[in-house]
Structure formats: C-alpha cells, structure tokens
Amino acid sequence: MTADFLIVGQGVAGSVLAWTLDQRGCTVIVADDPAQPSASAVAAGIVNPLTGRKLVRTWKADDLFPFLHDFYTGIEQSLGVQFFHPKSIYRPYRSLAEQSDYSALTEDPSVRQYVSQVVDNELYSGSINNPFGGLEVTGAGWLDLTEFVRIIKGYFIRKNQYFEGSVRDSDLVISDTKVAWQGIQVNKVIFCDGAQGSQNSLFGYLPYNPVKGQILTAVAERYSIKNIVNQGLFILPIRDGLIRVGATYSWHDLDWQTTDEGRSFLESKLQAILTIPYQVVAQQAGIRPSTKDRRPFIGTHPERSPVGIFGGMGTKGVSLAPYLAEQFVRHLLDGEELEPEANISRCVSLYNR
C-alpha cells in the first residue's frame, strides 16, 4: 500500500492537518492510539481573540480568526454536522477601577474590533456576580472537540484510511524520499502527537514546556447564559443546565491525574462569580503540548525531510491549527515559506548540540 502522508496522532492538530491535506487531493492515512491520553479529549475547545487581564490579542488573531470560522463551518456544511459554536465571551468587571482600565484598553482600534459596543448586563445578572457590568469579546466560540475528532475519525474510516494503534518513531524506515512502516510506503510522516512529541527521538530536541490543566463539569439547572463567561476562569455552557469550568495551570506533577487541590482551586474561583447552585459531576486532567517560546512546532526534520511535525500548540490548538495547517500544506505541496515564528528551523541550534 502507498500513500502521500501518514498522520500520527488524531487530536485537533492531526484532525485539522489530515482534513486539509485530504481536501488538496492527497491520500492520507491517519493513525491514532486510543491507549495514549490526549489533551484534545480534555480541552474545552474555546477560541478567544483577546486573552489575559490586559486584553492581549492572540498571536496573529486577524489572520487566525476569520480563517478558523470559515474552516470549521466549512466542514460542518460539507458533512452535514455541527460541532462549532460561535459565541461571545462575557468578562465581568471585578471593580470600577477595572471597568475604567478596560475602557481605556478598548480605545485601541486593534482591540476594539473584537469588543461589542453594547452589552446587556441583565442577561447575565441572574446567574453571575456582575455588579460593575462587563464587556463582551466577539469573534469567539468553542469547538466540541470530542464530536469534531469523532467525525474526522469516521470520515477517514469510511475511506479505509484510518489505523488504530501506535506508530513509534523507531518503527519507521526512513530513506531520502520515502518512509516505510508496516508494509506501507508514504512520502511523508507527520507527527501530531501532542505532549508525547517531547518523547519522540526525532523531535525530542525541541524545547517543549508542557503544562498540566484540570477542568470540571457541573450541573447548574438554573444556568441559562448562552455565551461563555470568563473572570479568572471560564464557564462554558455545554447545553442547558450543564457547564464546563476551567482551567488550572501547573508546570509540575505532569501526569494525567486529577487532584483535590485542582478541584478546590476551581471551585473557589467559581463560587466567587456564580450566584446559583451547582453540583460537580466530573473532573478531568490533561497535559497541554506547550513550548518554551509559546509558538508551535511546524516543519520537517533538519536531516530527515520525509518526516515532519505539526504540534506544540499549547492551549490554542483550536485557534491555531486551521490557519497553520493550510500554511504547512502549501509549504509541503507548493514550496511556500512557513511562518518563521512557528518553523522548527528556529530551533536548529538545539538539534546541532
């Protein structure tokens, strides 16, 4: 059997890249090991053009956000499914001083374009502590990652181009122009294996900085807010009466286990903002594939060009993957240049040590 590409890992990065290559007419085999934990199975899937207490624009937001909206809705229309939910993000002010500070920040035209000029604070006051009002960030939303990954998996299964199991870098037979694996010849293998990429002997030199995160799922029967709320944590309405709450950030104890400390931290934050009863029904933990310089790892191996990587997207994989996958595919198929800040060539000095 022959194929153009073997994609290793089917989280959000692998799913987006596999679809993008497929739509360009490439034969793509997707391989995923269900025994391996996946950050995409835990992540809330929120996309947000303005982050942090200083309303910092997401890197390349003006390129990423129009593209991601078109990308996900395009797949929905093509397959007759739904997994992407455009929503605003409501940010309650903590004080009059913060209200004043945010008013000043939104005078910047580059920020103002992502902020609603009229906010109905009464829509939120029944469930949220917002005595000072708040602002709404537009152009945001959330991707139901479980559903998205399931749909992309089914698409490639129907094409008989899906393999369930592990692909170890040590099992690859790499020549100058091809890669052989279990009797399959492919032009390129692209690793999209998330935090596990740091254990890959081909790309282990890259400066990963993995981050553990935990989220809660809670029943809140009287919660009727349709938008996402964010004040030190996010409250994401999954459906009527069911919310997801997160997230924690930890650079130590990097395992996939939930902790009482994580739950207590999130509940203390939640109780400060939520004014109605709730009951936690689930807790999850995951390892985000973050990097030292907070930029993705995209490109081909410095010496073994038939092998590449598409990962290291940290907390913003849902936002970054569509635009960067399109750019990577144009690089692979058309020879176009990669975004320098994402290109792994920036790390070549680490490989040569």
pLDDT in tens, 136-161: 999 999 999 999 999 999 999 999 99
**Contact (CB, 8 A) for 262 and 214:** yes
Mean per-residue pLDDT for 92-99?
Answer: 95
* pLDDT higher than 80, residue 133: yes
Q: Dihedral of CA 193/195/200/205: which sign?
A: positive
Beta bridge partners of 286: 213
- Kindly state the DSSP code that residue 39 receives in the 8-state scheme: G
What is the predicted pLDDT for the residue at 25?
A: 98
**Contact (CB, 8 A) for 234 and 216:** no
End-to-end CA distance of the chain: 38
Mean per-residue pLDDT for 303-311?
Answer: 96
**Contact (CB, 8 A) for 248 and 107:** no
Given pLDDT bands bounded at 50, 70 and 90, which one contains residue 47?
A: very high
Strand 56-57 vs strand 84-86: parallel, antiparallel, or unpaired?
unpaired
CA angle 71, 248, 42 (to 5 degrees): 45
Strand 307-311 vs strand 184-191: parallel, antiparallel, or unpaired?
parallel
Beta bridge partners of 291: 208
Distance CA 304, CA 9 (A): 20
DSSP-derived secondary structure for 148-202: HHHHHHHHHHHTT-EEES---GGG-EE-SS-EEETTEEEEEEEE--GGGGGG-TT
pLDDT, tens digit, for every residue of 214-262? Answer: 999 999 999 999 999 999 999 999 998 999 999 999 998 888 899 999 9
What is the predicted pLDDT for the residue at 353?
A: 57
- 136, 141, 139: which is closest to 116 by C-alpha? 136
pLDDT, tens digit, for every residue of 162-186? Answer: 999 999 888 999 999 999 999 899 9
Given pLDDT bands bounded at 50, 70 and 90, which one contains residue 195?
A: confident
Query: What integer best gives the mean pLDDT of the chain?
Result: 95
Q: Domains in the chain, ordered, with CATH?
A: 2-42+145-207+293-351 (3.50.50.60), 89-138+211-288 (3.30.9.10)
Distance CA 308, CA 39 (A): 20
Residue 352 CA: distances (Å) to CA of 148, 207, 295, 346, 347: 38, 13, 20, 12, 9
The residue type of 294 is R
What is the predicted pLDDT for the residue at 252?
A: 86
pLDDT, tens digit, for every residue of 20-29? Answer: 999 999 999 9
* pLDDT higher than 60, residue 62: yes
Distance CA 320, CA 339 (A): 12
The token duo for 252 is 């130590």
Distance CA 229, CA 244 (A): 11
**3-class DSSP assignment, residue 345:** helix
Distance CA 5, CA 27 (A): 6
pTM to 2 decimals? 0.96
Distance CA 217, CA 279 (A): 9
